[in-house]
């Protein structure tokens, strides 16, 4: 089986580029994707995929950072899958593909030395074995360097973010939203429209639990939107989804 793994850190990010790159190189790849932030490899979809992998399978990544952003864990998982016979392909870092590492591991100098002197034979054999081990060590170092770079990019991004926030704060700019303030998004407008339609607190007949399940939002988000809507009604205004012409109309069935 050929699998393609694509990951984005936030749901709002676009994952299509990764999928497009994987499919361009391996059209038959079965794509597994998820939105999961953080550096850990304990991710729901990845965990499911890892359990399904068998010897001879291949996993394709757009880049090493999509597999892991911590060097230690990335190298450990790489070695674990390699030892299990699973091939790993990194489109942006092909020099650490498991096929390259395997070639380095097999590129051994196999020569029988017979100089007539046992001491010379042992000395020469030791040198050859050292060269063979050096080839393996160099290949392993390339793998670690790739994961080190991915981890460094994460740390650098975090540092730049902190510095940018501090610069903005020193320049008197508001960081984040003011406490108690609200803002409107397409998602919130749609959700509030449905809350108004289905919730018993407005024009609907559903209790809170049934309402948020039907809409497909979390309880916290549901209560946040509901609180904002009730506050607007109490202030004599309209909810973000209310038609101003209906402001004075009492919702049917509401006491």
Separation between Cα atoms, residue 232 and residue 183, nearest integer Å: 13
Phi, psi of 73 (to 5 degrees): -70, -40
pLDDT at 61: 94
Task: Specify the higher pLDDT residue, 175 or 71.
Answer: 71
Separation between Cα atoms, residue 163 and residue 170, nearest integer Å: 11
Do the Cβ atoms of 140 and 68 come closer than 8 Å? no
Q: Which CATH architecture has domain 2-112+127-152?
A: 3-Layer(aba) Sandwich (3.40)
Tokens 């060097």 belong to residue: 71
Answer whether residue 97 shows pLDDT above 80: yes
Name which of 68, 62, 6 is nearest 39 in CA terms: 68
Tokens at 78, concatenated: 């790489």
pLDDT tens digits, residue range 165-193? 778 778 877 666 555 555 567 888 889 99
pLDDT at 159: 78
Separation between Cα atoms, residue 103 and residue 185, nearest integer Å: 53
pLDDT at 248: 36
Answer whether residue 244 shows pLDDT above 50: no
pTM attached to this predicted model:
0.52
- What are the sequence ranges of the domains in the chain? 2-112+127-152, 186-246
User: Residue range 89-112: average pLDDT?
Assistant: 77
């Amino acid at each position: 089986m050929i699998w393609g793994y694509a990951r984005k850190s936030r749901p709002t990010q676009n994952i299509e580029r990764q999928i497009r790159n994987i499919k361009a190189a391996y059209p038959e790849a079965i794509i597994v994707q998820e939105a999961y932030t953080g550096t850990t490899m304990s991710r729901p979809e990845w965990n499911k995929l890892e359990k399904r992998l068998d010897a001879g399978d291949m996993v394709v990544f757009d880049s090493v950072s999509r597999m892991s952003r911590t060097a230690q864990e990335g190298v450990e998982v790489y070695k674990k899958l390699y030892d299990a016979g699973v091939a790993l392909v990194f489109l942006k870092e092909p020099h650490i593909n498991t096929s390259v590492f395997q070639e380095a591991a097999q590129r051994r100098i196999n020569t029988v030395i017979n100089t007539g002197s046992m001491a010379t034979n042992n000395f020469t054999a030791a040198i050859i074995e050292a060269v063979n081990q050096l080839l393996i060590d160099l290949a392993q170092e390339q793998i670690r360097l790739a994961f080190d770079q991915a981890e460094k990019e994460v740390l650098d991004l975090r540092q730049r973010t902190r510095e940018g926030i501090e610069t903005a704060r020193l320049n008197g700019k508001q960081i984040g939203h003011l406490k108690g303030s609200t803002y409107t998004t397409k998602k919130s407008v749609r959700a509030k429209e449905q809350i108004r339609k289905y919730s018993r607190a407005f024009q609907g007949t559903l209790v809170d639990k049934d309402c948020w399940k039907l809409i497909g939002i979390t309880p916290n988000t549901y209560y946040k939107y509901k609180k904002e809507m009730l506050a607007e009604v109490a202030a004599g205004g309209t909810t973000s989804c209310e038609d101003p012409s209906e402001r004075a109309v009492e919702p049917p069935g509401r006491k």
